[in-house]
């Protein structure tokens, strides 16, 4: 019998699903549970992973949001049956962002999907990008740039025309956001052992912010990004709807869909 600890977003559908799962399986403390059930959308799942990963529990997401890429589909007929079966387990590690600001503060945060460097004013950003001490681009003039994990490559990264990465590809995507110079630079794919350094070339005239998923640090001057292999998230998926399968569907999806 599954012993779930239930986390749920504050909306009517999440509460309805929570009551259904709780009635059928109960609700246990974190210490006494063997699984964390997260009911909400992708954003709620990302926040839950960051808050609760230190408990070393597996996470099973049930979608009550919009697309729910990281989640499983809810069904009164099949969800409980799926919870009692074997799962497809996906283990991922987050990006770790270390930011030095104009006021000489150092801020750290982790990102499961992506780290985004975004212009903070009407002026375009002016950024230099390097990987493992090798220059990728000396001066990118753009609205910003993002570094995406495979799990996040179908999110913001795909919206800025970045590449979709296989979940087991061991790659990271560096994708420009509305590049002005060089206008046709499409970004770069690097290995997941890379340490990526992004510097603001003109912080006084062209300030930028650094955002790890949904955590923003303003007036960033130097941003270091790499995978933190010491942190691991274990996500569970129904056997017929794995995260790998979702990514493959996105890779062949028609552009108009």
Give the span between the Cα atoms of 31 and 196, in whole angstroms.
37
Strand residue runs (E) in the chain: 4-8, 35-40, 59-63, 88-92, 95-101, 106-111, 114-119, 125-131, 134-148, 171-181, 188-191, 196-200, 208-212, 215-217, 220-227, 233-237
d(C-alpha 128, C-alpha 138), whole Å: 5
Question: Residue 233's closest CA among 83, 56, 18?
Answer: 56
Distances (CA, A) of 222 to 40, 130, 155, 209, 216: 34, 11, 24, 10, 14
Q: Note if 34 is an active site residue.
A: no
Annotated catalytic residue: which of 9, 34, 42, 143?
A: 42
**Burial of 103 from C-beta contacts in 10 A (0-12 / 13-18 / 19+):** exposed
Q: Which residues belong to the active site?
A: 42
């Amino acid at each position: 019998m599954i012993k779930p600890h239930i986390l749920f977003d504050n909306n009517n559908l999440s509460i309805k699903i929570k009551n259904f799962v709780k009635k059928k399986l109960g609700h246990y403390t974190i210490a006494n549970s063997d699984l964390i059930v997260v009911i909400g959308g992708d954003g709620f799942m990302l926040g839950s992973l960051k808050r609760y990963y230190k408990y070393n529990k597996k996470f099973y997401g049930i979608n009550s949001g919009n697309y729910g890429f990281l989640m499983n589909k809810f069904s009164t007929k099949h969800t409980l049956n799926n919870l009692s079966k074997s799962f497809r387990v996906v283990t991922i590690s987050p990006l770790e962002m270390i930011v030095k600001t104009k006021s000489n503060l150092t801020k750290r945060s982790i990102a499961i999907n992506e780290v985004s460097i975004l212009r903070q004013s009407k002026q375009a950003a002016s950024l230099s990008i390097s990987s493992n001490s090798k220059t990728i681009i000396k001066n990118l003039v753009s609205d910003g740039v993002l570094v995406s994990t495979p799990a996040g490559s179908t999110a913001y990264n795909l919206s800025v025309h970045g590449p979709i990465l296989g979940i087991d590809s061991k790659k990271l995507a560096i994708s420009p956001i509305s590049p002005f110079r060089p206008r046709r630079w499409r970004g770069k794919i690097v290995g997941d052992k890379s340490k990526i350094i992004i510097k603001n070339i003109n912080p006084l005239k062209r300030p930028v912010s650094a955002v790890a998923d949904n955590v923003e640090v303003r007036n960033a001057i130097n941003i270091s990004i790499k995978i933190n292999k010491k942190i691991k998230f274990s996500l569970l998926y129904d056997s017929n709807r794995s995260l790998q399968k979702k990514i493959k569907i996105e890779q062949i999806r028609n552009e108009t869909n």
